[in-house]
Amino acid sequence: MAENVLLFGETTADGTLRPSSAELFGLGKELAGKLGGSLVVAIFGGNIAPAEAQAAALGADRILSATSEQLAEITVDAYSVALETAIEDAESAIVLLSGTTAGRDLAAFESGKRGAAHLVDAVNVEIEGAEVVVRRPVYQAKLLTEARAKLGETLFVTVRSGSYAAPEAEEGRMVDVETLDVALDPAAMRVQVVELLESKAGSANLEAADIVVIGGRGLGEASNFPLAEQLAEAFGGAVGATRAVTDLGWRPHYDQVGQTGRVIAPKLYVGVGVSGAVQHTVGMRGSENVVAINRDPDAPIFKLADFGIVGDLFEIVPLLIERLNAARGN
């Protein structure tokens, strides 16, 4: 009877763990403990030595790795074969993945292949008796529900990033890395990655920035968006946008924070002309401090705000930029 938890340790181009995967180690340990099994981490890619060291420091009991040229880029064709090998090797009751594009694709594809359950987009995961129960947003994150599936056959759980915090790393902790024998048939690699058109540097660091300024529809028009950029610059932070703004084409889609965009959890979130529609707030709920500037006192963003200013952003923001620049100059 399978009783282990297999964590898919998704890596980035530099061979480190994607932060949303690192976040799952505490949860993986806890679930494995409840099942009376161990936490097995699967890591695939080109050069993945940094991720293997991270996985050991974060508490993996076993590390299964596969490296090859065909695994250098994440494709469903290659990674599903590697994941399948890891699932069997690890005797997995639960396969845990972060809810990234790759994580969701892989879990759904494998669940289809195996006729298995895939609990998606979990913000909380529990074991109740012989079932896995997850809490997840539905109806574009307007509402929540609990989805459940029976333990028995291997099941898949993808977790929304920002739902759990990564455990503290125990530097120097060593775990033997076991190499998986993954045979990839070149003819079965149907999807080929040609290139990555990278996001601009300004927005690439949205997830990593300590301070993020978000511009919303309240900015009125595209030509006013630089006000949000200037505020971000004054804070020394990054700038992003709401879905309303990217849908209007004021900003590229990849700058969007929210349900179909990116998920951030900065020390300080500053919403400028952001109303706080759930499609956006689901991507910023993990923020430690929330500041909102909006003309509408009923804007839902104020419900989440630690500090809110009801007022005209075109008056407030220039003043704030001035004060921040002055404070910095001191």
Partner 1 sequence: MNIAVLVKQVPDPNAVKLDPRSGDILPGTAQVPNEYDLVAAEAAVRLAETFDGVQIVAVTAGNARETLNRCLAMGVDRAVALTSSASSLDSLATARVLASWLKSDTFDLILTGQEASDGGTGNVAPQLAALLGLPIVSNVIGLEYQNGNLTLKREIEDGHQVVTVQTPAVLSVLTALNEARHPTLKGIMASRRKPTDAVDADVSSEDLTPVVSWGSLFADEQVAAGVIVRDEPPEEMVDKLMAFLAERKLIEPA
**Residue numbers 33-92 binding partner 1 by CB under 8 A:** 75-77
Question: Residue 301: which of 323, 328, 273, 326 has the closest Cα?
Answer: 273
Cα separation, 204 vs 198, in Å, equals: 8
Question: Residue 41: which of 184, 175, 181, 183 has the closest Cα?
Answer: 175
In angstroms, the Cα distances linking 120 to 82, 128, 206 are 21, 17, 24
Task: State which residue, 31 or 305, has the beta carbon closest to partner 1.
Answer: 305
Task: State which residue, 4 or 287, has the beta carbon closest to partner 1.
Answer: 287
Candidates 29-37, 63-71, 102-110, 223-231: pick the segment binding partner 1 (CB under 8 A): 102-110
Q: Please tell me whether residue 143 binds partner 1 under the rule CB under 8 A.
A: yes
The CB-of-41 to partner 1 minimum distance in angstroms stands at: 20
Q: Please tell me whether residue 140 binds partner 1 under the rule CB under 8 A.
A: yes
Q: Please tell me whether residue 144 binds partner 1 under the rule CB under 8 A.
A: yes
Letters for 227-256 (x = contact with partner 1 by CB under 8 A, - = none) are: --------x-----------x-----xx--
H/E element holding 155?
Answer: strand 155-159
Q: Please tell me whether residue 196 binds partner 1 under the rule CB under 8 A.
A: yes
Cα separation, 8 vs 79, in Å, equals: 10
300 neighbors 281 (Cβ within 8 angstroms):
yes
Letters for 254-293 (x = contact with partner 1 by CB under 8 A, - = none) are: x-----x-x----xx--------------------xxx--
From candidates 191, 221, 223, 298, binder to partner 1 by CB under 8 A? 191
The CB-of-200 to partner 1 minimum distance in angstroms stands at: 9
Q: Please tell me whether residue 193 binds partner 1 under the rule CB under 8 A.
A: yes
The CB-of-179 to partner 1 minimum distance in angstroms stands at: 26
Helix intervals (H) in 58-133: 76-90, 101-114
246 neighbors 256 (Cβ within 8 angstroms):
yes
Cβ contacts of 111-117, under 8 Å, gap ≥ 24? 111/155, 111/156, 113/80, 113/84, 114/153, 114/154, 115/153, 116/153, 116/154, 116/155, 116/156, 117/149, 117/150, 117/153, 117/155, 117/156
From candidates 49, 147, 169, 184, binder to partner 1 by CB under 8 A? 147
Q: Please tell me whether residue 192 binds partner 1 under the rule CB under 8 A.
A: yes
Q: Which two tokens stand for residue 170?
A: 């125990």
The CB-of-11 to partner 1 minimum distance in angstroms stands at: 12
From candidates 199, 224, 229, 233, binder to partner 1 by CB under 8 A? 199
Task: Say how many residues touch partner 1, by CB under 8 A.
Answer: 83
CB atoms inside a 10 Å sphere around CB 316: 17
Q: Please tell me whether residue 195 binds partner 1 under the rule CB under 8 A.
A: yes
Cα separation, 132 vs 155, in Å, equals: 9
The CB-of-301 to partner 1 minimum distance in angstroms stands at: 10
In angstroms, the Cα distances linking 87 to 43, 139, 186, 240 are 12, 32, 22, 38
Q: Please tell me whether residue 104 binds partner 1 under the rule CB under 8 A.
A: yes
Task: State which residue, 63 or 81, has the beta carbon closest to partner 1.
Answer: 81
Task: State which residue, 60 or 102, has the beta carbon closest to partner 1.
Answer: 102
Residues 300-329 touching partner 1, rule: CB under 8 A, are 302-312, 315-316, 319-320, 323-324, 326-328
The backbone torsions φ and ψ at residue 65, rounded to the nearest 5 degrees and listed phi first, read: -130, 155
Q: Please tell me whether residue 222 binds partner 1 under the rule CB under 8 A.
A: no
Q: Which two tokens stand for residue 242?
A: 């709401």
